[in-house]
Amino acid sequence: MNQASTFNPTQEERHSSFQRFIAQRQKAPTTDAPVTLPGILFITSYPPRECGIATYSQDLMKAMTNKFKDSFSMMVCALESGNHVHDYPDEVKYTLDTGNPDQYLELAHSINANKSIQSVVLQHEFGFFQQAGTSVLLQFLCTLSKPTILVFHTVLPNPNGDLKWEVQRIVAACDSIIVMTQNAAQILVEDYQVAPHKIEVIAHGTHLVPHLNKGILKEKYGLSGKKVLATFGLLGSGKAIETTLNALPAVIAEHPDTIFLLIGKTHPGVVKAEGETYRTMLEEKVTALQLQHHVRFINRYLPLADLLEYLQLTDIYLFTSKDPNQAVSGTFSYALSCGCPIISTPIPHAKEVLNPNNGIIIDFQSSTQLAAAVNRLMSDDHLRNAFISNTLQQILPTAWENSAIAHAKLLQKVGGQVPPVTKPAVPPHRFTTEAPTRHISLQYRRPEINLEHVKKMTTAFGMLQFSIINQPDMNSGYTLDDNARALIALVMHYEHSQDPADLPYIETYLNFIRFCQLPAGDFENYVDIEGQFTAQNRETNLSDSNGRALWALGFLVSKSAILPSHLVETASTLLEQSTSWLATTHSTRSMAFAIKGLYLYNQHHHSASITAHITTLANRLVQMYLHESEPEWQWFEGYMTYGNAILPEALLCAYQETGSPLYLEMARQSFDFLLTITFKGTEINVISNQSWLQKGATPAKYGEQPIDVAYTILALERFYAVFEEKQYAQKMTAAFNWFLGKNHLHQIVYNPCTGGCYDGLEQYHVNLNQGAESTLSYLMARLVLAKFSGKS
CB 232 within 8 A of CB 334: yes
For residues 661-677, average pLDDT? 98
- Per-residue pLDDT, 81: 86
Q: Which residue has the higher pLDDT, 11 or 731?
A: 731
> For the segment 19-59, what is each residue's pLDDT rounded down to a tens digit?
544 444 445 444 444 447 999 999 999 999 988 899 999 99
Identify the band that residue 563 occupies on the pLDDT scale cut at 50, 70 and 90.
very high
Helix (H, G, I), strand (E, B) or coil at 292: coil
Residue 778 near residue 706, CB atoms below 8 Å: yes
The mean pLDDT value of the chain amounts to: 92
CA angle 425/431/437 to nearest 5° reads: 125
CB-facing half-sphere around the CA of 422: CA atoms within 13 A = 0
3-state class (DSSP) for residue 295 = strand
CA 115/CA 109 separation, integer angstroms? 12
User: What are the C-alpha distances in Å from 647 to residues 339, 583, 585, 669, 730?
Assistant: 42, 18, 15, 12, 21
Dihedral angle of Cα 717, 723, 729, 732, to the nearest 10 degrees: -40
Alpha-carbon distance of 694 to 633, in angstroms, equals 10
| For residue 348, cis peptide bond before it (omega within 30 degrees of 0) | no
**766 vs 40: CA distance, rounded Å:** 30
User: What is the Cα–Cα distance from 689 to 701, expressed in whole angstroms?
Assistant: 9
- Asked whether residue 5 carries a pLDDT value surpassing 50, the answer given is no
Dihedrals φ, ψ of 523, to 5°? -125, 150
Q: What's the whole-number mean pLDDT along residues 452-470? A: 97
Helix intervals (H) in 559-630: 565-576, 588-605, 608-628
User: From CA 568, how far away is CA 603, in angstroms rounded?
Assistant: 13
Q: Categorize the per-residue pLDDT at 501 as very low, low, confident or very high, splitting at 50, 70 and 90.
A: very high
User: Is the Cα dihedral 596, 600, 603, 606 positive or negative?
Assistant: negative
Q: Distance (Å, rounded) from C-alpha 79 to C-alpha 124? A: 11
> Residues 228-242: pLDDT tens digits?
999 998 899 999 999
Q: Please give the share of the chain, as a percent, with pLDDT higher than 70.
A: 92
d(CA 501, CA 527): 26
Cα 434 → chain centroid: 35
CA nearest neighbour of 614 among 648, 657, 580? 657
CA distance 492 to 513: 17
What pLDDT, in 10s, does the model give residues 582-601? 999 999 999 999 999 999 99
**pLDDT, tens digit, for every residue of 363-373?**
999 999 999 99
Q: How many angstroms separate the first and last alpha carbons of the chain?
A: 45
Q: Say which DSSP state 447 is in.
A: P
Within 10 A of 284 (CB to CB), how many other CB atoms are there?
10
- Going edge to edge, which strands form the sheet with 258-263? 295-298, 258-263, 227-232, 316-319, 342-344, 359-361
Other beta carbons less than 10 A from residue 481's beta carbon:
22
Q: Which of 187, 119, 181, 108 is nearest to 147 (CA)?
A: 119
Query: Residues 87-102: pLDDT tens digits?
Result: 999 999 999 999 999 9
What DSSP line would sit under 202-246, residue for residue? -PPPB-------HHHHHHHTT-TTPEEEEEESSB-GGG-THHHHH
Round to whole Å and give the CA distance between 700 and 684.
13
pLDDT on residue 84: 73
Within 379-479, residue ranges assigned H as helices are: 381-395, 400-415, 452-456
Nearest by Cα to 425 from 657, 782, 138, 713 = 138
SS (H, E, C) 673-740: HHHHHHEECCEECCCCCCCCEECCCCCCCCCECHHHHHHHHHHHHHHHHHHCCHHHHHHHHHHHHHHH
Task: Centre a 10 Å sphere on the Cβ of residue 709 and count the other Cβ atoms it contains.
Answer: 28
Number of H helices, E strands in the chain: 30, 25
Q: Which of 54-63, 375-384, 428-437, 753-762 has the lowest mean pLDDT?
A: 428-437
User: Which 8-state DSSP code applies to residue 5?
Assistant: P
Burial of 197 (0-12, 13-18, 19+ CB in 10 A): exposed
What local confidence, expressed as pLDDT, does residue 421 receive?
61
CA atoms within 13 A on the CB side of 607: 17
Predicted pLDDT of residue 302: 87
Q: What's the pLDDT tens digit per position in 258-295?
A: 999 999 999 888 988 899 999 999 999 999 999 999 99
> Are 77 and 42 in contact, with CB atoms under 8 Å apart?
yes
Q: Tell me which long-range contacts 278-286 makes (C-beta under 8 A, separation of at least 24).
A: 278/235, 278/236, 278/237, 279/235, 281/242, 282/241, 282/242, 282/245, 285/242, 285/245, 285/246, 286/245
The pLDDT confidence band at residue 300, using thresholds 50, 70 and 90, is: confident
Cβ atoms of 613 and 657 closer than 8 Å = no
Lowest mean pLDDT among 417-421, 546-550, 682-686: 417-421
Q: For residue 349, what pLDDT band results from cuts at 50, 70 and 90?
A: confident
Task: List helix spans (H) across 259-366.
Answer: 268-274, 277-288, 304-313, 330-337, 348-353
Which region, left, alpha or beta, applies to residue 656 given φ > 0 means left and ψ of -120 to 50 means alpha? alpha
Mean of the pLDDT values across residues 136-153? 96
Most confident of 3-7, 52-56, 420-424, 652-656: 652-656
Higher pLDDT, 328 or 604: 604
Per-residue pLDDT tens digits for 697-707: 999 989 999 99
- Give 196's DSSP letter: G
- Residue 22, pLDDT score: 42
State how far the Cα of 542 lies from the Cα of 532, in Å rounded to an integer: 17
